[in-house]
Amino acid sequence: MKLLNKSLIYLTGAFLVIIGVWSIVFFIDLKDEIRDSIDDGLDNSRLLIIEKARDDTSLLTQNEFGGNNFKIQPISGNPGKRKSIYKDTLMYRLNENELEPVRILNTVFKHNDTYYKLSVISSLVEEDDLIEDAFWNLLWLFIILIFSIVIINNVVLRRVWNPFHEILNRLKTFEIDKDENPIAINTQIKEFRELQEASNTLMRHSRETFIAQKQFTENASHELQTPLAISMNKLELLLESGKLERREANTVAEVLQIIERLTRLNKALLLLAKIENKQYRDHQKIDVNALVKKYINDFQDFSDFKEIGVEVLGNSAVEVFMDTSLANMLFSNLVKNALFHNIKQGAVKIRFTETEFEICNSGTDTSLDESSIFNRFQKGNTDNGSNGLGLSICRAICGYYGFKLTYDFREQKHCFKINFDKTV
Amino acid sequence: MKILVIEDEKALGDTLKTSLEKELYVVELAGTFHDALEKIAIYEYDCILLDIMLPGGSGLELLKELKSLGKSGNVIIISAKDSLDDKLKGLELGADDYLTKPFHIAELNARVKAVLRRNNLKGSYTIDWGNTILNIDERTLTVNDEEVYLNRKEFDILNYFLLNKNRLITKSALAEYVWGDQIDQVDNLDFIYYQIKNLRKKLLYAQADIEIESLYGVGYKLVEK
């Protein structure tokens, strides 16, 4: 749920309670005030009537309300107390054809030694009407308030929250391997400034860690080159000295092969580190068809040895902009992969379309795990000489250029496909 | 032939020296920038192996110095850095070749010979051993004055062997030289054997004085019968 909506729900609830309570209090107050005012009016009428009755005794005979708002009835004897009494009552109203609430003032006055009871009335506000009116008015007020809040939220608050969304966007699109500037949103709001600072610190830390790790791989690989060179060359010299017993020589030969493997592994790691460090920038137009043909040719001896049939389908010319050495690495790895993980008398099918390159090879009868084959050091079971980095390198290179490298297993063939179309 | 090895790692320097002396070169070692600077200023060398990262200064500085002395044409850079930038910079400064560590001894021999050959160019270039003559420029093999047909791979293999007479050539060194860098991750180098077998047959049939010996399953050696 969006923050705006959440706050809207809370505000709606709060307004409902506040307006509800307030309207009850207001209604009671209003009613009291109306009564007060009516009572004053009644009192005033009483005085006026008593005054008038002194001069115009005919009034004293007005013992029914009739069309007037008072009646006077003589009473026998002394009623004693002469306090005015106000009360609410109901009277029949001709126009409305029903009983309506009225305020009545009952009082007693003396005229020429006779006591009279005077009743003065004034119509009261109809309470149910008042409540109904008030209810509708309050409901409108409530709706208007909620609408105003929605509008304010959407226009004003959204603007207020803008820095937050900007920071969020930067964090969402943050790429650790890109040299991005720190977030610099211009805002006066303390919380957002703090968020911005915290985000920048976090980004800087992550990047530093990432760079340190990358540098470690690269430095370690570089530093290993010389010791590897020494070991390799010393063992080569030892082997060719001819002074070794056959068994010793075999052991040395094995160690030498292991060092060669180590060298290849080191080279591959170094290459990966370099791709990730984006150290390849010599982008040129590469004729993929020619390049692939070259590698098929280069590995001809190997495919002949394994009796693998290589077939190239489709003659769409595929050209891409890539660093030459990376292009070499990518396509030689894929061709090599298809040949080396093949079976004797197997097949390799290469297909070119406008935007795609696909290479399929026979091999194991079961599909490989697509989610892990591109991971580093993910090895098949049968090969012991491969370092498990070939496909990682391919993926790193494709990733570097925004190409899509996918694997699928169909018709008993392992297929690797590169889509060069960056828009897909 | 006099060769200077400029390498700060003593163990590697010594190994290179031992290996190069087997080819009957006179080899001198320089372990630091200043040591090297002194030597190149005073002596003349037919070939210089130059490490880029040196205590006291960069190998590229030495290369500049050599260039100003007009002696940079016989330099082979040996560096742990396999970076294109360094390579280009080195070659721009006049270095003849660039070899990335670690390298096979056979490869170093081949490169050194190539440098020496380029600097002593006279007539067509051949390598001969006994009754066998390999003409590099015309890519032909002659045994007992009779031409023996070799395919491209066989020629490259024999060339590599002749550049490394009596030396061990590991299968992977041979594969890299003949089939290119990309072959190096092959899990199985047995396919090399077929080319070797054919080459052996041809040498035997032509009654050459040389033969290819297998060495402990790790490589081969070209020897005189």
pLDDT at B152: 86
Over residues A183-206, the mean pLDDT reads 89
**ipTM > 0.95 (yes/no):** no
pLDDT at B111: 92
Same domain? B106 vs B175: no
Q: Which helix (H) or strand (E) holds B30?
A: strand B26-30
Over residues B201-217, the mean pLDDT reads 89
pLDDT at B108: 92
Kindly list the residues from chain A whose CB atom is less than 8 angstroms away from the CB atom of residue B11: 230, 234
Strand B75-79 and strand B97-100: the pairing is parallel
- Which domains does chain A carry? 3-133 (3.30.450), 190-276 (1.10.287), 283-419 (3.30.565.10)
pLDDT, one tens digit per residue, over B129-152 is 888 999 888 888 999 888 999 888
As a whole number of angstroms, the distance between CA A20 and CA A3 comes to: 26
Output A161 or A386, whichever has higher pLDDT.
A161
As a whole number of angstroms, the distance between CA B34 and CA A259 comes to: 33
pLDDT, one tens digit per residue, over A103-147 is 888 888 887 788 888 888 888 777 778 788 888 988 898 899 888
Same domain? B70 vs B91: yes
Output A231 or A88, whichever has higher pLDDT.
A231
pLDDT at B30: 92
Dihedral sign for Cα atoms in the order A278, A280, A282, A285: negative
Same domain? B51 vs B130: no
Question: Would you say A19 and A141 are in contact if contact means Cβ atoms under 8 Å apart?
Answer: yes
Kindly list the residues from chain B whose CB atom is less than 8 angstroms away from the CB atom of residue A222: 80-81
| pLDDT surpasses 90 at A387 | no
Residue A59 pLDDT grade (very low, low, confident, very high; cuts 50, 70, 90): confident
Q: Tokens standing for B124?
A: 């067509």
Mutation for A interface: B27, B182, B223, most A CBs within 10 A: B182
| pLDDT surpasses 80 at A371 | no
Output A218 or B43, whichever has higher pLDDT.
B43
Of A208-217, A385-394, B9-18, the range with the lowest mean pLDDT is A385-394
Q: What percent of chain B has pLDDT over 90?
A: 29
User: What CATH number corresponds to the domain at position B182?
Assistant: 1.10.10.10
Same domain? B57 vs B88: yes
pLDDT at A232: 92
Residue A382 pLDDT grade (very low, low, confident, very high; cuts 50, 70, 90): low
Same domain? B79 vs B111: yes
Cβ atoms < 10 Å from Cβ of A203: 17
Over residues B14-22, the mean pLDDT reads 93
In sequence order, what are the residues at sequence separation of 6 or more whose Cβ sits closer than 8 angstroms to the Cβ of residue B93? B60, B63, B64, B67, B72
Report which residue type is found at B30. Answer: A
Residue A349 pLDDT grade (very low, low, confident, very high; cuts 50, 70, 90): very high
Q: What phi and psi, each to the nearest 5 degrees, are found at residue A283?
A: -80, 130
pLDDT, one tens digit per residue, over A271-301 is 888 787 777 777 889 898 999 998 888 888 8
Over residues A326-334, the mean pLDDT reads 89
Give strand pairing partners of B26.
Answer: B2
Write down the mean pLDDT value for chain B: 86
Same domain? B99 vs B38: yes
pLDDT at A424: 47
Residue A423 pLDDT grade (very low, low, confident, very high; cuts 50, 70, 90): low
Nearest neighbour of A240 by CB, restricted to B12, B168, B179: B168
End-of-domain residue from the set B119, B147, B179: B119
Question: Would you say B205 and B197 are in contact if contact means Cβ atoms under 8 Å apart?
Answer: no
Nearest neighbour of A229 by CB, restricted to B102, B185, B191: B102
Over residues A368-379, the mean pLDDT reads 76
CB interface of B with A, residues 15-74, below 8 Å: 15-16, 18-19
pLDDT at B188: 66
pLDDT at A81: 65
Residue B92 pLDDT grade (very low, low, confident, very high; cuts 50, 70, 90): confident
For A36, A45, A70, A108, A286, the CA distances from A123, given in Å and listed in that order, are 13, 13, 12, 21, 100
pLDDT, one tens digit per residue, over A167-179 is 899 888 887 777 6
Domain region containing B102: 2-119
Task: Name the minimum distance, in Å, from the CA of B14 to any CA of chain A.
Answer: 9
Same domain? B72 vs B106: yes
In sequence order, what are the residues at sequence separation of 6 or more whose Cβ sits closer than 8 angstroms to the Cβ of residue B125? B117, B135, B136, B137
| pLDDT surpasses 90 at B28 | yes
End-of-domain residue from the set B93, B119, B145: B119
Number of separate domains in chain B: 2
Same domain? B218 vs B140: yes
pLDDT at B157: 92
Same domain? B103 vs B134: no
Same domain? B46 vs B108: yes
End-of-domain residue from the set B119, B144, B161: B119
Mutation for A interface: B111, B112, B156, B187, most A CBs within 10 A: B187
| pLDDT surpasses 60 at A344 | yes
Give the closest residue to A396 by CA, choosing from A330, A305, A323. A330
Give the closest residue to B157 by CA, choosing from B187, B198, B98. B198
| pLDDT surpasses 70 at A153 | yes
Measured between CA atoms, the residue of chain A closest to residue B193 is A305
Same domain? B113 vs B161: no
Report which residue type is found at B110. Answer: A
As a whole number of angstroms, the distance between CA A373 and CA A361 comes to: 15
pLDDT, one tens digit per residue, over B159-188 is 999 989 888 898 888 888 888 766 665 556
Q: What phi and psi, each to the nearest 5 degrees, are found at residue A70?
A: -145, 160
pLDDT at B212: 93
As a whole number of angstroms, the distance between CA A261 and CA A238 comes to: 19
Kindly list the residues from chain A whose CB atom is less than 8 angstroms away from the CB atom of residue B180: 298
Task: Name the minimum distance, in Å, from the CA of B145 to any CA of chain A.
Answer: 30
| pLDDT surpasses 70 at B221 | yes
Write down the mean pLDDT value for chain A: 84
Give the closest residue to B168 by CA, choosing from A135, A234, A217, A80. A234
pLDDT at A133: 86
Which DSSP string corresponds to chain B? -EEEEE-S-HHHHHHHHHHHHHTT-EEEEE-SHHHHHHHHHH---SEEEEESEETTEEHHHHHHHHHHHT-GGGEEEEES---HHHHHHHHHTT-SEEEESS--HHHHHHHHHHHHHHHT--SS-EEEETTEEEETTTTEEEETTEEE---HHHHHHHHHHHHTBTSEEEHHHHHHHHH-GGGGG-S-THHHHHHHHHHHHHHHHTT-SEEEEEETTTEEEEEE-
Over residues A25-52, the mean pLDDT reads 88
Over residues B77-98, the mean pLDDT reads 82
Question: Would you say A394 and A347 are in contact if contact means Cβ atoms under 8 Å apart?
Answer: no
Output B80 or A330, whichever has higher pLDDT.
A330
Residue A201 pLDDT grade (very low, low, confident, very high; cuts 50, 70, 90): very high
User: What CATH number corresponds to the domain at position B67?
Assistant: 3.40.50.2300
As a whole number of angstroms, the distance between CA B102 and CA A261 comes to: 12
Query: Are the beta carbons of B179 and A230 separated by less than 8 Å?
Result: no
Same domain? B101 vs B21: yes
pLDDT at B89: 83
Query: Are the beta carbons of A299 and B179 separated by less than 8 Å?
Result: yes
Give strand pairing partners of B140.
Answer: B135
Residue A82 pLDDT grade (very low, low, confident, very high; cuts 50, 70, 90): low
| pLDDT surpasses 80 at A376 | no
pLDDT, one tens digit per residue, over B43-69 is 889 899 999 888 888 888 888 888 888
Strand A404-410 and strand B47-51: the pairing is unpaired
Residue B122 pLDDT grade (very low, low, confident, very high; cuts 50, 70, 90): low
Output A220 or B156, whichever has higher pLDDT.
B156
pLDDT at A231: 93
Kindly list the residues from chain A whose CB atom is less than 8 angstroms away from the CB atom of residue B82: 267, 270
